[in-house]
Chain A
Amino acid sequence: MRGWVWIALAFTWGLQGCSEGSTERKVDALDLVALEDVDGTLRPDEVHLRSQLLQPLKGEQPNLGMRNSAYWVKVSGWQGAPRNARIILDNPTVDSIDAVILDGPRVLGRQRSGAAYGKTEDLIPTFNLPLNVNHELWFRVRSTKPLVLPFTLTQVDRVKTMRVQRDLALALYTGIVLAILIYNCFLAFSTGQQAYFSYVLVVLTVGLVQWSFNGYDRLIWGHIPWMARNGLTMMGASSGLAALIFAREFLEVRRYTPKWNRWIQGLLVIYASAMLAALLNQPLLAYNLVNLGALSAPAMIVLSLISWRRGNTSALWFFVAWLIFLVAVTTQALRDFGVLPSTPVTALFLPLGTVFEMLLLSFALGNRINLLKRSSDAANAKALAASLENERIVKQQNAELEMRVQHRTEALGQANSELSGALDELKGAQDQLIQTEKLASLGQMTAGIAHELNNPINYVQSNATSLRRDIEELIEIVDAYSEAFAAMAEGAHGAQAMAEAAAEKSRKLDLDFLKEESRQLVAGILEGADRTTKIVGGLRVFGRMDGDKPVKASLAELLEASITVLGNRARSKAKIEVTFEENLPELWCQSGKLSQVFMNIVVNAVQATESRWSDAEQRSVRVELKHLKAMGEGVNALEVRVQDNGTGMDEETRQRVFDPFYTTKDVGKGTGLGLSIVKGILDDHGAEVEVESTMGDGTTFILTFPITDEAQTKTEAA
């Protein structure tokens, strides 16, 4: 950065030196009078006729301002100049300059120059002097740019030297600009910052403006007449546009000074309009618009100040750059209007100003890039810190997570052990339930047996009591008769009366009835005794009720006993038909448990019929027992079939009928364990059970007990 400053300063001094070398001796004696030709239609021969309208032009650099009119300027005071003297109009922006030598109305000579002709040799329009001192030298000038007319009398050699000096100065300037341009181009592409690209544009256009300003642009587009005339305007507008675009990006107008965006847009419109006007062949309007656009210089200054005040530190550089530019432009303007002397020093102000502006803007950009880099570094550092913090948090969370997982695992382990505890409890509960079911069926059996026994016992006992009374009465009658008979045999007195009394007694006690009743009472006693014997006999078959010891038993007896013990609960509620085959082999079994099986199945069958039929006569349960003879594969088994005409069951119930806790009974009416226990007992006996059922038609339980030699069923092992 510092190096740049030194280089810039060196160039400045260099330029200064060149300018100083070109210092021109002004020929004060030149007198200028001008005639305005509003339409630009005056012919040279008409000019002298209007000499009364001539206005004298004052100062070294008379400024006629910007007019559409052509001006006829009569230059005098050159008389007496040496032969190698020439008149120069050192303003390369004047569109057309016609030097006319007049002798009265007669045109003696003509020399044409000016920007509009695009000739490169006319960068310092140089004109010969008339040979005759009596001839008049007129210049017809017309321009779309300010008509500043620094007519100077000088020597031919001087002009050449001036031109060389000019070329050198511009070369130096161009060198600086190119250096800045290339360097910033490089920066633009390497940083990719958009501000650099617009800055490059600024440098390019400002450089071109300076070229145009000094007429050098005709080197580039002098052969295009329109560009030759409008080059300066177009470059001015372009540089304005570029500067504004750059400013907008550099100052981050939208961020710091959003309200100013409107103004900048307005200025952009002005420049764009200037270009449009130039294109529409309104060069004056275009130039004026460009001048109006110069408002952007103070605007930029204010804007950059505001932006700086609002914290945009790079804006200060920008401010200084534009301030210098403004000073330079102002100086130029003051020079143009003759407020400042038109010395080579003042001529340097504008190019130097632009150079400094460009340099400062470059520094500003560099500063801004550094700032950006710093803030980006800070952001990076922040991001790094954030990511480090994140990492720390993640680590912490991981640790926490691990801890949680550990806790969870422990909790799960605990839950698991609790669950297995609960499972054990459930198993216990299940065992208890099975025990309860066993007790319940035991209770049912007990109730059945008690009732079945108590009835015959009741009438045996009651009949015995009644019979005793009857016998006493019979004895009474017999006694009475035997006494009467004895008396009669002895022929005792009153024997007849005694016989009558005996007959009376027998009539009174209803002897016939007593005889009949006695017989029936005895029959009842015998029947009761018989029934009691049968029941007890049935009980004997059961063996020990919950005994595990296998005994050899007849299934027929077991079935019969089970049905007997069920008693009223089965017999009185449904018609129970029993069909047993004769001479069946006995079976090793746990008789008590099997009776539990049979009772359970029969009771279920009876209940199923009860649910279907209200009339007991229609309820039917058939119990069959038969021997499945060896059929080819040596099937030797006993089959028990319990068939009812009850409600039947659906497929789901049929399949789940042996599932523990599955019940179709109301809650509290059944444990759902009965048939599951039955299944268990049958499995222990190696027996198979099959259920056939049709909904609404009845159910058949088919139990098949295999007969093995000596029936070494696994029950024995138990």
Chain B
Amino acid sequence: MTEETIRVLYLDDEEPNLFSFKAAFRRDFEVHTCNEPHKAVRMLDDAEFHVVLSDQRMPRISGVEFFELIMPDHPDVSRVLVTGYADTDAVVDAINKGQVYRFVSKPWNEEELRNVIKAGYDLNRSRVNNAQEGQQVLAAMDGFVGDLDRLTADLNSGHEANNVAQELSLLKGRMMEERIRYGRWVELQNSRSK
């Protein structure tokens, strides 16, 4: 795993919980806490977080509603719902609306929660990685298309066929390289998800 610090944000309306959380996990992660949902939204906008945890029962807004709120701007962050008591409605809402990654019930098991946060970090990384990889492949494709356009133009304007053929074989080589690289990446993802 990477050596990067895992940035975690915990939202709960009860101060003692925030303190407990920080005390419990400050040694493992970079822990930020907040007892106001709107402040939490601002914090997410200001800095990158890998995992966000929220209490379900809060005044004015529920944890699920909070997740719903931040989803559009922060789709990659892993969402973990912490709840003292989860009824069926809350669970259904959490999955359908908030796209919650995990549930953790209070009182939490510290080790379990730690693993959840770590797994959430991995998921976040993989999502970000996927997006980057996608961008990279798209860029490579664009490059290849540009090259092919240039070669076609050369051929039409009466360039020597031999030169063009040589360039084509070079292009094919580069494409093969990209193909192999992408193949390895996919293989890596598959092995990880197993």
Query: Nearest Cβ in chain A — how far from B110, in angstroms?
Result: 5
Q: Give the residues from 41 to 79 in chain B that come closer than 8 angstroms, CB to CB, to chain A.
A: 57-60
Q: Please tell me which stretch of A131-139, A425-433, A449-457 contacts chain B, meaning at least 4 of its Cβ atoms lie within 8 angstroms of it.
A: A449-457
CA distance A123 to B83 in the complex (A): 149
- Give B138 Cβ to nearest chain A Cβ, in Å: 44
Distance of B119 from chain A, by nearest CB (Å): 20
A450-B85, A462-B107 known; A568 vs B59 contact (CB < 8 Å): yes
Bound together, the chains give a CA A114 to CA B165 distance in angstroms of 164
Let me know if B85 and A527 touch, CB within 8 A.
no
Which residue of chain A lies nearest to B17 when distances are taken between CB atoms in the complex? A459
Say whether A375 faces chain B, with CB atoms less than 8 Å apart.
no
Distance in Å: Cβ of B10 to nearest Cβ of chain A = 12
Contact of B23 among A452, A453, A517 (CB under 8 A): A517
Contact present for A459 and B19 (CB under 8 Å): yes
Residues of chain A with a CB closer than 8 A to B108's CB: 458, 462
Residues facing A in B102-126 (CB within 8 A) are: 105-108, 110
**In contact, B23 and A451 (Cβ under 8 angstroms):** no
Q: Once the chains bind, are A458 and B57 in contact (CB under 8 Å)?
A: no
Interface string of A509-545 (1 = CB under 8 A from B): 0000000010011001001100000000000000000
Name the residue of chain A whose CB is nearest to the CB of B21. A462
Q: Does A191 contact B (CB under 8 A)?
A: no
Establish whether residues B84 and A451, one from each chain, have CB atoms under 8 Å apart when the complex forms.
yes
A165 at the interface (CB under 8 A from B): no
B23 close to A466 (CB less than 8 A): yes
Chain A positions within 8 Å of B23 at CB level: 462-463, 466-467, 470, 517, 520-521
Contact of A454 among B16, B58, B105 (CB under 8 A): B105
Could you tell me how many residues of chain B have their Cβ less than 8 Å away from some Cβ of chain A?
23
In-complex Cβ contact of B17 among A447, A453, A458, A520 (8 A): A458
What residues of chain B lie closer than 8 Å to A521, measured between beta carbons? 19-20, 23
What are the residues of chain A within 8 A of B107 when measuring CB–CB?
454, 457-462
Contact residues in A for B27 (Cβ distance below 8 Å)? 469
Q: Does A572 contact B (CB under 8 A)?
A: yes
B14 at the interface (CB under 8 A from A): yes
**Taking the complex as formed, is B178 at the interface, i.e. its CB lies under 8 A from any CB of chain A?**
no
Is A436 in contact with chain B by the CB < 8 A criterion?
no
Q: Is the CB of A455 within 8 A of B17?
A: yes
A616: CB under 8 A from chain B? Answer: yes
State whether the Cβ of A573 lies closer than 8 Å to any Cβ in chain B.
Answer: yes
From residue B25, how far is it (CB to closest CB) to chain A in Å? 9
The residues of B that contact A447 with a CB separation of less than 8 Å are: 85, 87
Q: A459 and B20: CB pair below 8 A?
A: yes
Which residues does chain B contribute within 8 Å of A452, judged by CB atoms?
84
| A524 B85 Cβ-Cβ under 8 A | no
Task: Give per-residue flags for B142-174: 1 if the beta carbon is below 8 A from chain A beta carbons, else 0.
Answer: 000000000000000000000000000000000
Question: B108 → chain A, closest Cβ, in Å?
Answer: 6
Q: How far is the CB of B99 from chain A (nearest CB, A)?
A: 23
- The reply to whether B59 and A465 contact each other, CB–CB distance below 8 Å, is no
Chain A residues with CB below 8 A from B59, complex form: 568, 572-573, 616
Q: Do A465 and B84 touch (CB < 8 A)? A: no
Q: Are B58 and A572 in contact (CB under 8 A)?
A: yes
- How many angstroms between the C-alpha atoms of A648 and B67 in the bound complex? 33
Q: Which residues of A contact B (CB under 8 A)?
A: 447, 450-463, 465-467, 469-470, 517, 520-521, 524, 527-528, 568, 572-573, 616
Not counting A458-B84, A459-B20, a sample of 20 additional A-B residue pairs whose C-beta atoms are within 8 angstroms of each other reads: A451-B84, A451-B85, A454-B105, A456-B16, A458-B17, A459-B17, A459-B19, A461-B107, A462-B20, A465-B24, A467-B23, A470-B23, A517-B23, A520-B19, A521-B19, A524-B19, A524-B20, A527-B16, A568-B57, A568-B58
